[in-house]
Amino acid sequence: MASTALAESPHSDLAALVASAFGCDGVLAESMCSEARIRRFASHAVILDAEPSQQDVHLLADGQARLVADSLEGRLVVIEDYGVGEVIGLTGLFGWDGVPAQVVSVGASRTGAFAGHVFVKLMNAHAAIALAISRMLVTRLASANRRVAENATLSAPGRIHAEILRRARSGEAMTIRPMPVFSELALALQTTRESVSRAVSALEKRGIVKRVEGGLAIVAPHRLEELVY
């Protein structure tokens, strides 16, 4: 997958996102933006490659990104997803993390890119930035631990039910918007698209979920939770 990123001057709207993401005031946010380069990526473009020489840190300003790797069987595996306001490339800040994976954009995306050494200086100089990064890493570690536990203890349908429930709870009115793409959900859960399709169809027939305009609504969350285990 080839990168099609274009460099341009930082946009003013990035400052508000920086302030929100790092819990800092406007002055510090503007100072951080002065160190950033705005980068735009086409769908499926590589944001960060698996090369140890790449040390940029990206704040995702628009779109979605995904950390992916190839399994020994040659199957694409989704390791982690990133949304707006999340920081990408943290594990490579202090040298190559040894993970043969790359971050790709899911749809068109825009980031604020910081050189790795510049970002480390910002963390050293400002406690708010260092604390925000610590919280992000702890959240990701908890998510990774949950994934490992679910892969070890849940069946494929159980993992699908758990992910649908989790996504609905993070949305409004227990509804996943936009409608989840079954193939992408299968990649994230290390199962097949057919398994996801069967699981969702079964939930619809039992009246636990229903398709609504632009999404999937959970009608009976307690019943769905019972199906996880």
Q: Delineate the domains of the chain, giving CATH numbers in brackets.
A: 6-152 (2.60.120.10), 154-226 (1.10.10.10)
H or E element: which one contains 202?
Answer: helix 193-205
| Contact status, residue 161 vs residue 223, Cβ threshold 8 Å | no
pLDDT of 98: 66
The whole-angstrom separation of Cα 65 and Cα 56 is: 15
> Phi, psi at residue 207, to the nearest 5°?
75, 20
| Contact status, residue 58 vs residue 66, Cβ threshold 8 Å | no
Mean pLDDT by 10 residues, the chain (229 residues): 48 85 93 94 91 80 90 77 92 72 91 94 95 93 89 92 92 90 86 94 96 94 93
| Contact status, residue 74 vs residue 138, Cβ threshold 8 Å | no
pLDDT of 9: 43
